[in-house]
Amino acid sequence: MQDTERKPKIQNRIFHYLSDFGRLLFGRNSISNEGLGSHGEGMNPFRKYSSLDNEKWFELVSGLIHETSDEKIIPLSPPDEIQKNFTGRSGIDTFRQAFEFYQMVTRSVGVYYSGGIEEAKILDFGCGWGRIIRFFLRDMDPSNIYGCDCVDDMIEICKKTNQWCNFFKSNTYPPLNIEPGYFDIIYAYSVFSHVSEDAQKKWLSEFHRILKPGGILILTTRRFDFIDQIEAIYPESQFDANTAKQDYLEGKYVHFSYGGGYSLEESYWGETAIPREYIENVWTNLFSIVDFIETGKEVDQNVIVGVKK
């Protein structure tokens, strides 16, 4: 399931951590958030950070600033091994990537969304252990921030480390138990870098259903260059990078199935690189494609920005 190297399926290891959750969960002080209020009630304790410059907000959320009263409300992080299993990175490296992507989302919303982010409802689809969602806490009311994942353990970690946002379990295929037009913004980091073509089409229709008219969709997918790495990562497979690269250049959906453990079956999950031409042909039935970001310092996937038609 994680991004750069193949690892053995990790279910058992994660269960091990979860069974000893209280002791192993936190690299920093093991703090209880009890008594700090629950989401949706009272004042947003993150409002005071809305004018903080980006670098300071990054340092605060990623735990570079220690031993301050702020630490009591900043979400905590699971052990490095869990972090790596989901994105191939951990610690400050994973937060740098998450923060760059968060900035891409807020910039895109600023440019392409007609409403303000402060009043918006946002969904992190495939939120993993919650490294990205936490950066939005200063921008909007936490009760309007949602994260979902189809792996129970991820939702459990999110709920234990971040009491502010709303987390719920989804299935590998739609629908979500969400009313039509509920969200203003949906983003998914490194989910459409893995799903099959069939799952991709079904989820795009579902996102279209649950977004408001004019709502923003921001997804990432593998880059062309990654196709060569697939052969190296899965040497025992029959994957043929040359054919896949040719397909990509012809605008075809490139997907190598392998499964990701848990409910991420082989028919659903693998490595996926979706070319721009495909997106412009297929996604435009439902979304106007307004940006296609191919460069990032930390974000090593292409980022597609769409507006619901």
Ligand X SMILES: C[S@@+](CC[C@H](N)C(=O)[O-])C[C@H]1O[C@@H](n2cnc3c(N)ncnc32)[C@H](O)[C@@H]1O
Phi, psi of 302 (to 5 degrees): -75, 145
Decide if residue 131 touches ligand X (CB under 6 A). Answer: yes
Length of the chain: 309
Decide if residue 170 touches ligand X (CB under 6 A). Answer: yes
Decide if residue 206 touches ligand X (CB under 6 A). Answer: no
Q: Exactly one of 154, 254, 303, 305 binds ligand X (CB under 6 A); which one?
A: 154
DSSP collapsed to 3 states, 195-216: ECHHHHHHHHHHHHHHEEEEEE
Decide if residue 146 touches ligand X (CB under 6 A). Answer: no
Task: Note whether 116 and 108 are within 8 A (CB).
Answer: no
Is the Cβ of residue 172 or residue 272 nearer to ligand X in the bound state? 172
SS3 state at 124: strand
**Interface characters, 79-108, with ligand X (x: CB under 6 A):** -------xx---------------------
Decide if residue 1 touches ligand X (CB under 6 A). Answer: yes
Decide if residue 128 touches ligand X (CB under 6 A). Answer: yes
Decide if residue 162 touches ligand X (CB under 6 A). Answer: no
Kindly report the number of other CB atoms within 10 A of residue 8's CB atom: 9
Contact range with ligand X by CB under 6 A, out of 64-72, 128-136, 206-214, 298-306? 128-136
Contact range with ligand X by CB under 6 A, out of 56-64, 188-196, 248-256, 273-281? 188-196
| Cα–Cα distance measured from residue 37 to residue 268, given in angstroms and rounded to the nearest whole number | 39
Listed in sequence order, the residues at least 6 apart from 189 whose beta carbon sits closer than 8 Å to its beta carbon are 98, 101, 124, 126, 132, 220, 301
Kindly report the number of other CB atoms within 10 A of residue 72's CB atom: 13
**Which residues would be at the binding site for ligand X (CB under 6 A)?**
1-3, 86-87, 125-128, 131-132, 148-151, 154, 170, 172, 189-191
